[in-house]
Structure 1
Amino acid sequence: MRRFPRRPRGLRRRAGAVRYRMRKRTAALRAAFTARFFLPLRARRGARLLYAAILDGQTVNLHARLPRGARLPERAEILLKRGRVRWRTDARVYEGPDGQLLMDAAVLLGTEVGGAPVTDGRWKLGLRLRDGRRTRSCALLLVEPPVPYEGPTKPMEQSAATGAKHRISRSFAGSARVVTRSARPSAEVLKIHIDHAGITVDFRLLGPGDELPWMEFIASGRTLETDVDEVAPDVIRAVVPLDQMPPRGKGVDQWDVVACFGNGDRLRVGRRLHDVRNPARVFAMKQLAITPEGLAPMIVQPRYTPAGNLRITCTPMPEAH
C-alpha cells in the first residue's frame, strides 16, 4: 500500500491558523447580518433578552423585556425544544418601573439534577404566554451574546453534577439557543489525604462506562500500579504507600496519577470542574515532611498543573544531604 507523506508540522499549524481566522471572520459577518436584518424585523414581536448566562454549568438564567403592547399574562412558561422533544418550566412576568413587562426565568439542565432532558445538540429557547385558553408564543431574541466577566472566578464550563457542557448561542435569525455536549470521560479528584503510611486519592469517573480502573502512579522511569475500591456511590479510592515513592538522589520526582482501563483507555486524574481562573493557586495544598520507615525523610506535596492534572512532588529533605 502506497503511503503519502504527511505535511510538515509547520504547515499543519499554518493551515489550522487559516481555518481559525476564516471561522472567526465568518462568525463576525454572520453576527453583523443577524443584528442588521433579522433582529430589527423580529423586535416588535419578540422578547429581547437583557441577560442570558449559565453561571453554575447547569442553570440557564434569563431576564428579558417583552415587546411593547404585551399584556400581563395569567401564566408564563419557558419552552425548550429540539425536534419533537419539548420541555416546559415556569417563568415570572411582571411590570417594570417604566410600565413595560419584564420576564425572569431559570432553566435547570440535565435529568440527573431534576432538570430538562437535554442531549447533544442545539436546543431552542422560547417564551409561551397563557391567558385562559389563549396561548401566545414569543421568541427570545439574543441581541448581544454573553460576554465572560473578569475576576478570580468565571462561569462554570461544565456541570459539576454531570460533567456535560452547556453554552448559550443564537440562531441565524437571532433566537436564543442552548448548545449541549455530553460529558467526556474524565476522572475528577474529590479528596486527597497524606499521612506517613501513604497517599489516598478519592475521585469519581464522568462520562460513559461503568468499569472500575486500576491506577498508575508514574514518575521518570518508574511506574507504581495499585487497585482501587469503590468506597461510596460514584466515589473511587486509590492508595499508594509512600515508601515506594522515595526521590532518587538529590533530584525531585514528580508523580502523575492515571486511571487505566481494560480497553486501553487512560485518564489523567485531576480537578477541572471548577469556576476559578487560577486553580493552582486557589487549590494549593500544603507540603508535608514524611519519613517512611527505613528511608530518609522527604517532602511530599500534591498540586495541580495548569491543565488541572494532579501531580505529586517528592523532594528529599535538605538535612538528609
Structure 2
Amino acid sequence: MTSTPHPPLTARLQMLALNRLRSPVRAARAARRRAARMAEPLHRSVARLDGVTNRFRARSEHLSVLDGQTLNLAAVLPGHERAAGAHLEFTSGRERVAALARVVPGPDGRDRVEATVRLRLGRAAEEGSAADGGTDDRGGTAPGEVRLAPGRWDLRLVAVYPERTARVALALPDGAPPDAPPHDGEPPPRTSPAGPLPACPQTRARFGIVRAPSGAAAITVAAPQPTAEVDAVLLRPYRAQITGELLDLPDIHALTADVALRGGGAAHRVRPTLDPGSRGIAFTVDLPVAEMAAVAGGELRWELRFHTPTHGTLRAGRADTDLHRAGAVLRVPARTVRPESGPPALVRPYYTDSGTLCIALTPLPPGA
C-alpha cells in the first residue's frame, strides 16, 4: 500500500517544477530587455548620423516611379556653388549607368536638378543603356532610357562644377507612406515608400524606390515572375469560361490545371486550351460547373490553378494590378449558369485584394 505525499510537500514540488520551466522563459525575456536597452543608444546614434549625412545629400523634393517605368526626380543640390551640369547615376556593385539631368537655378540660390528617365529591364552593358535624352515633338526634353539588371541600385547625382566633380547621394522625400497591410489574409500588394508598385507594361518588371542601408535613396529592380493573367470571365447561359495568358513561363510541358476550393479541399482537373498569345501562352478553361455544384449545398469559393514542374502553382488572377483594393474595383457580374448535366448554379466571380480570381458558386434548385 502506497502512502500519499503530504499536501505541502506536493505543493512545494509543483512550485519547484514550475520555476524550472519558467527559468528559461524569464532568462530569454531578460536577455531581450537587455538587448533592447543596448540597442537604444545605437538607434539614436544612427538617427543622428542620418540627420548629419543628409546635410551632404541632395534633398529630394520628388522621387517616384510612375506608370511602372518612368523615374521622376526633382532634388536640390547641397551648397550654393553653381553647377555647370549634372547627371543621375545608378550604381550596383561595379556596374554604373548614367542618365542626363537638367540643372535649374532655385529661388534660394541653390541648384535644382530635374530628371525623367525611362527604366528598362536588362543588362547595363547592353546597347542603349545610357540615357542621353532627346527632344520631343513639342520642343520639351524627352525621357532618356536606362537598362537595369535585377537587384538594388544606389542613386547619386553627379554635379559638374568649374573645377571639380561631386557625387552626392539622394535623401528620400519626407512623408513617404508606409507599406500597405495584408488584405483578406493574403500577401499585401508589392509596395515601396512611394506607394504600390505597378508592373512595367513592356517587361512586367517592377521598379521601386527604397531606403538603402546607408539611409540614402535607392531603386530596386524585380524581374517578372511567371503568372496566369486573367483576361476575361465569360458567363453564358450554359457554360462558364476563363480566358487569359500564361506570362513569362518558358516551359509549359507537363502543365496541369484544376479548379480547387480555396483553403484546401476538393479539386477538379480541367484541360485548358493553349494557343500562342500576344504576350505569352493564351489559355481558355471551361469550368466544370456541375461538378463544382455537386460538392456542397451552400456557396463555395473556388480558384483556378496551374501546376508547373519548374515554377510551382500559379493561381489565375490579375497579378499585375496596381490597385490597393482590387476586389472593390475589378467587379464581374454574377449570373445563373445551367450546365447540360446537373442543377443550375449561381456563379459569382470576384477578385481578392491581391488580385486572385475567385469563383463563388451556389447550387440552385432544379428549374430555378
CA change 1:246–1:83 in 2 (3 A) is closer
Deviates more, 1:102-111 or 1:114-123: 114-123
Q: Which residue of 1 aligns with 2:3?
A: none
Q: Which residue of 2 aligns with 1:6?
A: none
User: 1:199·1:242 contact (CA, 8 Å) conserved in 2?
Assistant: no
Deviation at 1:101, TM superposition (A): 2.0
Aligned mates of 2:310, 2:211 — CA distance in 1: 39
Aligned mates of 2:102, 2:298 — CA distance in 1: 62
Deviation at 1:247, TM superposition (A): 1.2
Q: Which residue of 2 aligns with 1:304?
A: 351
CA change 1:76–1:164 in 2 (3 A) is same
Q: Does 1:123 align with 2:176?
A: no
Q: Which residue of 1 aligns with 2:136?
A: none
Q: Which residue of 1 aligns with 2:266?
A: 221
Aligned mates of 2:47, 2:156 — CA distance in 1: 19
Q: Does 1:237 align with 2:283?
A: yes
Match of 2:93 among 45, 70, 83: 83
Mark the structure with the bigger radius of gyration: 2
CA deviations on 1:194-238 (whole Å, 9 max, x unpaired) are: 3234313213324x6433533212245341221331341314212
Same amino acid, percent of matched pairs: 26
User: 2:83·2:160 contact (CA, 8 Å) conserved in 1?
Assistant: no
Q: Which amino acid aligns with 2:244?
A: D
Aligned mates of 1:285, 1:181 — CA distance in 2: 30
Q: Does 1:268 align with 2:279?
A: no
CA deviations on 1:237-291 (whole Å, 9 max, x unpaired) are: 1221555445126333432110112458222222232222221111121001222
Match of 1:103 among 94, 108, 113: 113
Aligned mates of 1:53, 1:201 — CA distance in 2: 34
Aligned mates of 1:258, 1:286 — CA distance in 2: 22
Deviation at 1:148, TM superposition (A): 4.3
User: 1:127·1:138 contact (CA, 8 Å) conserved in 2?
Assistant: yes
Aligned mates of 2:287, 2:50 — CA distance in 1: 64
Q: Which residue of 1 aligns with 2:293?
A: 247
CA RMSD of aligned residues (A): 3.8
Secondary structure class of the residue paired with 1:117: strand
Q: Which runs of 5+ in 2 are unaligned?
A: 1-27, 123-128, 130-144, 181-188
Secondary structure class of the residue paired with 1:286: coil
Report the number of matched residues.
Answer: 296
Aligned mates of 2:150, 2:304 — CA distance in 1: 30
Q: Which residue of 1 aligns with 2:244?
A: 202
Aligned mates of 2:366, 2:320 — CA distance in 1: 39
Q: Which runs of 5+ in 1 are unaligned?
A: 1-14
Q: Does 1:51 align with 2:62?
A: yes
- TM-score for both structures, normalised by structure 2: 0.66
Q: Does 1:37 align with 2:49?
A: yes
Match of 2:233 among 176, 184, 192: 192
Aligned mates of 2:297, 2:109 — CA distance in 1: 74
Q: Does 1:169 align with 2:199?
A: no
CA change 1:279–1:241 in 2 (3 A) is closer
